[in-house]
Chains A and B, each alone.
Chain A
Amino acid sequence: MPETGYILAVCTIVFVITLGLRALPFAVLNRLQDSPLVKVLALWMPAGVLGILAASTLQSTIHAEPAQAAAAVAAVAVTAVTHLLGGRRTLLSVGIGTAAYMLLLNAF
C-alpha cells in the first residue's frame, strides 16, 4: 500500500494537469473560432476518431482473447447490423452485440 503523501502528490499532479487541459480551450478557442481549418476539422474529425477508438478497442478485445478473434469480429458485425436495422438505438445495439460476444465466447 503506497503512503498517504504519495497518493496526495499523485492526486495533485493529476488535478493540475486536468485543470490545465480543460482551461486551454477557453484560452485558444475564441481566437480559432473563425478559422476555416478548425471548421473543416470539426466536420471531418468525429467519425474518424470514433472509428479509430472502435478499431483500438476491438484490437484490445482480440489481444485479451486471441483464440476468439472470429467471435469478436462477428460480434462487431452483429452490433453494426443491429444498429442499422434496429433504428439506431445505442443501448439495444450495445446490449445485443455484447450478448452475442459473450455467447460466442462461452459456446466455443
Chain B
Amino acid sequence: MKHPVAKAYSVYALIDEAYAVTAASRDTWTPWRLVTMQLAFQSYWVGGGLTGVMVASLLPDPIHGLEFALCALFVTLTLDAARTRKQVPSILLAGMSFGLAVLVFPGQALFAALVLFLALLLGRYTLLRRTAGHDLTPRKDTGNA
C-alpha cells in the first residue's frame, strides 16, 4: 500500500469483514485489490443501510419481533466459533462474566462483561502457565476461529 490516500482510506476502512477476508488468505493481496474490496464493503454497508431505511419507511408499522434476528445471528456465530470441546472453558468463563456483569453493573452489562471476560482469560493464562511445562502456544489443529 504505497499511495498516501489509499493508505489513509485503508486505515479508515479497516472493518471486521475486511480484516477477516484478508487474514484468511494472506499472500494474494495487491494494493488495488485491497482498495477495491474495501470500497465494495463500504458500498454494501451504506447501500444496505439506505435500502433498510427505504423499506422501513414504506412499512406502515414496525414488524413485531424482527429484532430477534440479531440475537439469532449471534447464537449461530457462537455455535460456529465453539466447535470443539477446547472452547468449553471460554464459553463458561464468558457466561460467568455476563452473569456477574448483569448483577453488578446492570446499566453497562455488555461492556462490563467483555472487560470481565478478558480479565478471566488473563487469569486463566497466568494459571496455566504456572502449572509447569504447559505448552500454551496454539497448535494448527486447534484454530477454528
Contacts and interface: CB of A to CB of B under 8 A. Distances in A.
B30 to A, nearest CB: 19
B79 A94 contact: no
A52 B110 CA distance: 7
Does more than half of chain A's interface fall in helix, strand or loop, or is it mixed?
helix
Interface in A29-62: 36-37, 39-59, 61
A22 B117 CA distance: 22
A105 B94 CA distance: 29
Given A22-B14, A57-B70, A59-B109, A41 B121 contact: yes
Nearest to B67: A61
Interface of A: 18-19, 22-23, 25-26, 36-37, 39-59, 61, 64, 72, 75-76, 79-80, 83-84, 88, 90, 93-94, 97-98, 101-102, 105-106
B94 A51 contact: yes
A51 B72 contact: no
A83 B98 contact: no
B24 interface: no
A43 B117 contact: no
Question: What class of interface size applies to chain B in its complex with A?
Answer: 35 or more
A39 B12 CA distance: 25
Contacts of B102: 59
A3 B32 CA distance: 39
Interface of B: 11-12, 14, 63-82, 87, 89-91, 93-95, 97-98, 102, 109-110, 113-114, 117-118, 121-122, 124-125, 136-138, 142-143, 145
Contacts, number: 154
B22 to A, nearest CB: 12
Contacts of B110: 52-53, 56
B124 A55 contact: no
A48 B121 contact: yes
Nearest to B65: A102
A94 B11 contact: no
Contacts of B89: 44
Given A36-B136, A105-B64, A105-B65, 17 more contacts: A19-B11, A40-B125, A44-B124, A47-B78, A47-B81, A48-B94, A48-B117, A52-B113, A56-B110, A57-B74, A58-B71, A75-B72, A79-B72, A84-B79, A93-B76, A94-B73, A97-B68
Instruction: Kindly name the residue among A45, A51, A93, A101 whose own CB sees the greatest number of chain B CB atoms within 10 A.
Output: A51
